[in-house]
Amino acid sequence: MTPERITEIFTRQDGSYLCARWGRPVAPVIFGLADESLDIFRAAIRAGFAHAGHPVAETDPEMGANLMLFFLRDWAELEEVPDLDRLTGQPGLPARLRADDADQYRLFRFDADGGIRACMGFLRMTGALADAHPAALAEAVTMRSALSFARDIAPSPEMAALIRAAYDPVLPVAATEPAHALRLAARMAAAKGA
């Protein structure tokens, strides 16, 4: 993966670069899944973050849960989530997602040092996601919540290597300079050659 490709993955619509990883243990909670799918998602989250070398916890001391995943049949179901506007900081989110005909939406919150403090993922399990295999979807959701990707990514060994490189303790928990992509690319090359 080239530094240019890495830069593109973390460059937001306003042209700013942000690569942030979790700065605290991930404490997941999942709403709207049947028990058999729930086990698949829990296992994928544990495995994905273990691969990155990052801990998963039962609870976050400040927030209880900090990785919140909502699985819905229709965006209207979001309107039943208590204090959704306060939780997301996005008034009118269900109506906006319905108007965009979105399949999924991801929202990050950050700590003072720039590390990920919380991630909320909303997935509408009709339309494009209706036929998704639970294990494949679990892997994709886990990877997309591991870093502050500016665009959707597809799971791949290359993407897993990028996530692992970003969690290297010698790198900052968050970076806003595109030169950071050079450091990620170097770490990935070194790991591949090892």
Does pLDDT of 82 surpass 90? no
Q: Give residue 194's pLDDT.
A: 60
Residues 155-180 as b or e (16 or more Cβ within 10 Å = b): beeebbbbbbbbbbeebbbbbeebeb
Residue-wise pLDDT for 151-180, tens only, equals 989 999 999 999 999 999 999 999 999 999
- CA 3, distance to chain mean position in Å, is 21
Q: Give residue 193's pLDDT.
A: 73
Task: Parse the chain into domains and list their residue ranges.
Answer: 1-20+149-194, 22-146
Q: Give residue 87's pLDDT.
A: 87
Does pLDDT of 18 surpass 70? yes
Does pLDDT of 137 surpass 90? yes
Can you tell me the mean pLDDT for 170-194? 93
Class of residue 38 by CB neighbours under 10 A (exposed 0-12, middle 13-18, buried 19+): middle
Residue-wise pLDDT for 49-62, tens only, equals 999 999 999 999 99
**Topology, domain 22-146:** Chitobiase; domain 2 (3.30.379)
Q: Give residue 160's pLDDT.
A: 96
Least confident range from 33-47, 56-70, 126-140: namely 126-140
Does pLDDT of 146 surpass 70? yes
Q: How confident is the model at residue 128 (pLDDT cuts 50, 70, 90)?
A: confident
Q: In the chain, where do the E strands start and end?
A: 19-20, 28-31, 67-72, 104-110, 116-124, 174-175
